Structure 1
Amino acid sequence: MRKRFALLFVIVSITCLSFCQLTGVAQEPAPPVKTGADEKDPPAASAKEKPSESKPVEKSASSTPQLPGPEKLLNGGNFWDHWKYVSEEEKEANRNLTWKVISGGKDQPSVLVCSGKPYGYIRTQKIYENFQFSLEWMYPNDPNANSGILLFTTEPDKVWPKAFQVQLHRPEAGYVFPTPGSGAKSANKLSPTMPLDLPLGKWHQCVLTCRSGNISVMINGVKLGEVTGCDPSKGAIALQSEGAEIHFRKLVVEVLAPEPAAQPEKPVAQQKPDQP
């Protein structure tokens, strides 16, 4: 019996082996195991191969300078730290007799009183080129009183300096012209077409805009016109003493940016004539 089982096992084994050979099934060899000696670290990346680190781009400061805000020219303190006195008599001791600052009360602006004598002016210590200057003025009693504002005032200091006068004489208020005989020049003069209504004892406003050698005049909210091509085109601001009492208040100057330069026009392409 045992011999029969042994013979049967041998026959089955031979049959299975023959079947596997016929079907081509073979056992794949296991992959070789790498040893520590066979393993190598990958090469380090060179400096060129390292990714560049992105850095935030620093924004450059604007090329346009920051402009100061409006400056009050009667803001307390020592008045003569900001103004220079010039007169026919050339006596510094008389300046406080000709020009006097009266401090305002509560919520009231200070007032600069000019006696009108002797003839002369006060001018700012600072030089201005592109700016807007505004003030209010009043003649208390003289219907024929005379005074004015001088713009682009240059040295030498004398009566009268090289400058452009904005007339405050009541019948001619708003006229603008170069100081006669001073050498100041402009492309035109400003002559209002009709006298302004400027009652005595009342405050009147004057706003002057000076930019790139041009002067624009506005009185009591009415634009009177413009003077262009001024030479000089920068200088001090001055107030005249011309024989009559005049009061000033709310003197404010604000520096402006210059007007942008005009871009040249592109030439127009000329069309070629049709060939015959």
Structure 2
Amino acid sequence: MIVFLKEFWLFGLKQAYACMFGGFLLAVMLLTSIWYPIELIHRYDFIFLAAIVFQLLLLAFRFETPREALVIVIFHIVATVMELFKTSDAIGSWAYPEEYIFGIGNVPLFTGFMYSAVGSYIARIWRLFDFQFSVYPARRHTLLLVALIYINFFAHHFVWDIRWLLLAATFWLFWPTRIYFCVTHTHRNMPILLGWLLVALFIWIAENLATYANIWIYPNQQETWEMVPLAKLSSWYLLMLLSFVLVTLVNKVKLREACVPELDQKL
């Protein structure tokens, strides 16, 4: 029991450590929605500048590696392109209701960091838990799948939405795959599909908090705030898969090896 409690405690600490950037960003969003006294800087611009400063501090104090910072840059670019499309006047999937200076079109620049926080989490948790895999699909298959997922985020506004086919392809491709993670000295494992679902659920919860804080709003939230439908989980699940595969471009997919516990002493 003592061993279990110690491992559970370290698991929580490592998860919190990996969520450092995303947790900071969400905290700034929520706090500034309650109290924001700076009149010279728009709140969205303050969030953008705060994210940059925090990112530089993570690098300066070596809480984040240059490779993990590269993941953030990649996600920022990919996300901003999608945001520009989704928030365009012709599409209007969601909107950012407040003013800003640092932005492109209808998109304030801090939005890229929201997606980057997911990539940052995956890259860091990968290192902390010494991720290993069994029966992992070929890279060409995973890249093709996430390319179709990304295209469908745009194309479903004009042609048939194939997200359910993409989800079925995801289950078919990754059903045998198990992810192994090491908390202390022993690798535990779980189906990778279940792991993605759990993370997607936490993202959905964070999305509800962010929309409540007026960071962005959906058309049905313009008059009064409503909870984001649970059906949105399908989008976050696919985004989770897209994020994970993008991280594999900078993090090597390792098959089963001996566990190398990292940062146990620091935590």
* TM-score normalised by L of structure 1: 0.23
Query: Which structure is larger by alpha-carbon Rg, 1 or 2?
Result: 1
Return the structure number with greater strand share. 1
Higher share of residues assigned helix: 2
Instruction: Report the TM-score, using the length of structure 2 for normalisation.
Output: 0.23
